[in-house]
Structure 1
Amino acid sequence: MKLLGRAVLSLIFLLILTLTYSIFIGTLDVRSHFFPLLNISTTPITAPCRAESPLRVYMYDFPRRFNVGMLNRRSSDETPVTSRDLPAWPRNSGLRRQHSVEYWMMASLLCEGEDPTREAVRVSDPDSADVFFVPFFSSLSFNTHGHNMTDPATEIDRQLQVDVLKFLRDSSYWQRSAGRDHVIPMNHPNAFRYLREEVNTSILIVADFGRYHKIIANLSKDVVAPYVHIVDSFINDDPPDPYGSRSTLLFFKGTTVRKDEGIVRAKLTKILAGYEDVRYENSHATGESIKASTEGMRLSKFCLHPAGDTPSSCRLFDAIVSHCVPVIVSDQIELPYEDELDYTEFSVFFSVKEALVPGYMVTQLRQFPKERWLEMWRRLKSISHHFEFQYPPKKDDAVNMIWRQVKHKVPAAKLAVHRSRRLKIPDWWRRRR
């Protein structure tokens, strides 16, 4: 018995010795069995980096009379435009340029070659598309065919809209979604003015909502895009004393007689008269006045942006690319990319009521802290590339920013499409509200 007891004790001793040695050299992980909450791995966990895929866009093949054909009416070519024969936007187009967002969006889809910074790419298979782009230059059509709304050529603008709508209604992809996943540029306040109600479910690219009923356009589905700036961008803006080099306090040069909310411009004429450091001038857009505005904005600390016939105008974006801190007086304005940009970081806002108090706005701007102005000036320099339209497009420029905004609208559009397919009765949610 003693011999058996010694054998058992020796066996236990060997077992304990083996376990101790295994734990010591790391071949047995006791913590994972008895203390699982303490089982913290020291090995770094790495997840593969995955870049967000670009928006897949199918662009309809429209004849040129719906788009670039309006840039050169002597051309009779009706074939769809390609990257090889895309005409440049004319330099002498004057104010028409400010509403040319439709051109730059279409051009970006014609761009060939791989670019990882591109927010949208054209696809040839419509079944693989996230959205459908309608390449109709509705703004240029208004500006080209009877922009006075009364001359006989206006009928051409109307007929183009009728033809576009017929094409869309015949498209199975339009029918499939009732147009909810279609992107239609309407950057001019009067663009597509005859048949807007017929495309009110689509993603509209607008400058503001001043001429749209809420059943046609709204923030939940549409994209607010900037005007294309008219003045040249301020490239070499790096003086030793940025604040001191801008001798004018507040600058405005433009039409002072406007309709609707733009009536404030005429009232400001009297309010801002008599100040030596304020330039408030009535002017119409000509080559000379645009050149004078370019110089005036670059020599001014603040640039005034009062509402025009609608809440927005190109002047705001001229100020941004001139690095002149915008002073916005427009109570109903909506701004581009506002989910990504905080405009209070580089702009000053006054309500119309505040701006019309004699002396109030000028006093506030004269007391504006220099360091705060310098912060805004630096911020303007860092974000102004978001307002540049160019071909080919570049990373985070205006066209890429607009397409990114479109991408943000896609989930809501898909939700609406999927709900509409399964509803057997009129939409109870809309009736509930």
Structure 2
Amino acid sequence: MKEKEKSILKTLVVCKSRQSSRQMHIFPLLISSLLSSLFLLFLSYSSSCPSSPPSSLTLSLSAASHADPCSGRYLYVYDLPDKFNDGIVRECRTIFPWIDMCPYVANMGLGPHLTKTGSVLTGTGWHITNQWVLEVIFHNRMRQYECLTANSSQADAFFVPYYVGLDTGRHMWGHHTSLRERDALLLELFQFLKSRPEWSAKGGRDHFILSGRSTYDLRREDNGVSQWGGKLLMLPEVKNMTVLLIESCPWGNGNEFSVPYPTNFHPSNESQVIAWQDKVSSTKRLWLFSFAGARRPGQAGSIRDQLFDQCVNSSHCKLLDCALAHNDCDTPTTTMSLFQSSNFCLQPPGDTPTRRSAFDSMLAGCIPVFFHPESAYTQYKWYLPDNYSEYSVYVPQDDVREGRVSIEEVLLKYSEEEIRDMKEKVVSMIPTLIYKDPSYKLESVRDAFDVAIDGVLRRVKSIIGNQSSI
């Protein structure tokens, strides 16, 4: 918006008629006539001039009142048959073989309300949220998006609400289904999309999809080497799309972008966000560093054993062994209590380079310590600062594995002032690392969903612009 401009035209007329007693006896009629003529002349001049010209500010406000606040931000959401999304949720007991996912896909994907928060958590807005349910949360947030359009010719981007991660999960971990059965919904979806004029217009380059699973779960090549997961990311049509995942492939097609794992905090108003930020900013940190996780003795290259040993042997470290206290590690109050009491939180790779725990710890205002670039730095570029030293510590995992570094010694070198600055940066990032409750609109808080949509629109605009200029 332009800076205020003021154009004020003032007309000041001072008419003073001084009569001298010495002159009143000279030509009284002539003077009276002259004054009357001058007054009439003034009235004629002033009536021909506007009191004030129309200012540029007035014109700007008039134009702005007719501007479209959604220009460049319109999204079209495909109305797919519910077998692609809500139907999968209704069959929630089939998503994982050993976990009943029905409680976790409830409440628009937020999971059960957490009522017993104690002194660890603040107020409401807390749920027991499963890390794989982002597709449900994202779709419900999309339903509240302020710039949806039913007119596809008006849309700037197109969202495909297929719960591909949940669908893929139904055919993994020992589910004895053929590849044809496993891919049936996926292939049916793209057959449908390619028949639509919205897809044909730009070959899918303005379309995007989201998966709540890692890229490695959606890269099955059907070459006989591995039968793991689905093949979404291997379809040639998808290479034109923008794909959002909780973990992307840095060396992939360049169309994958990471979004945060869902945490347990889903605020419904701005005050909940502010109250939480105030709490974690003022919480006294009893431990220099902590680690919540389990050993991985059978995983080649894992540094979990070394981190366990270093933590156990340090008087500055607090350990939560998730192999012994599995239920505690799934309880938000337990993990958040640990992270709130620590200045630094160790975040080594798990089955893949990224961990949900990294976002849980940052939500608690704990500075993450990463050991692999793909755990954060090459992943969440829309969300995390380019200068990773502003909010985190990096220790090469090879140095840990080969015993060349002491985590305690590295972290003790940071001054109180440096720790304070890094923690403030982490706390300032909290709003964009969480997903709001889809039932409410938080106008003044931009969450992870908002950042993702902005990123998609920027990318689509860039792609379409480049194509148009060829």
Task: Report if TM-score (shorter chain) is over 0.5.
Answer: yes
Quote how far apart the aligned CAs of 1:282 are: 3.7
8 Å Cα contact 1:271-1:359 kept in structure 2: no
Unaligned runs of at least 5 residues, structure 2: 1-54, 94-105, 114-126, 220-229, 268-272
Structure 1: how far apart are the matches of 2:280 and 2:463? Answer: 50
8 Å Cα contact 2:243-2:256 kept in structure 1: yes
The counterpart of 1:351, out of the listed 396, 404, 416, is: 396
Structure 2: how far apart are the matches of 1:283 and 1:59? Answer: 40
The counterpart of 1:110, out of the listed 143, 149, 158, is: 143
1:405 aligns with 2:455: yes
| CA-to-aligned-CA distance 1:367-422 (integer Å, 9 cap, x gap) | 21111111222222222011121213533111111111111201232045437xx7
1:314 aligns with 2:332: no
1:363 aligns with 2:409: yes
1:141 aligns with 2:167: yes
Unaligned runs of at least 5 residues, structure 1: 1-43, 76-85, 112-117, 423-433
CA RMSD in angstroms, aligned pairs only: 3.6
Could you say which residue in structure 2 is the equivalent of 1:336?
A: 380
Distance 1:302 1:160, change over 3 A: same
Quote how far apart the aligned CAs of 1:150 are: 4.2
1:196 aligns with 2:238: no
TM-score of the superposition, structure 2-length normalised?
A: 0.66
- 3-state DSSP of counterpart to 1:98: coil
Could you say which residue in structure 2 is the equivalent of 1:229?
A: 263
1:249 aligns with 2:282: no
Distance 1:153 1:88, change over 3 A: farther
Structure 2: how far apart are the matches of 1:415 and 1:259? Answer: 49
Could you say which residue in structure 2 is the equivalent of 1:379?
A: 425
8 Å Cα contact 1:66-1:135 kept in structure 2: yes
Structure 1: how far apart are the matches of 2:178 and 2:348? Answer: 32
Could you say which residue in structure 2 is the equivalent of 1:14?
A: none
- 3-state DSSP of counterpart to 2:208: strand
The counterpart of 1:209, out of the listed 248, 252, 277, is: 248
Q: Identity rate of aligned residues, in percent?
A: 19
Structure 1: how far apart are the matches of 2:306 and 2:76? Answer: 48
Could you say which residue in structure 2 is the equivalent of 1:123?
A: 149
Could you say which residue in structure 2 is the equivalent of 1:67?
A: 85
Distance 1:288 1:74, change over 3 A: closer
Quote how far apart the aligned CAs of 1:222 are: 3.3
Structure 1: how far apart are the matches of 2:111 and 2:179? Answer: 25
| CA-to-aligned-CA distance 1:337-382 (integer Å, 9 cap, x gap) | 4477344322222222344445432101112111111122222222
| CA-to-aligned-CA distance 1:310-361 (integer Å, 9 cap, x gap) | 2211111101111111111113342324477344322222222344445432
Quote how far apart the aligned CAs of 1:73 are: 2.1
Residue type matched to 1:348 in 2?
V
Structure 1: how far apart are the matches of 2:465 and 2:149? Answer: 22
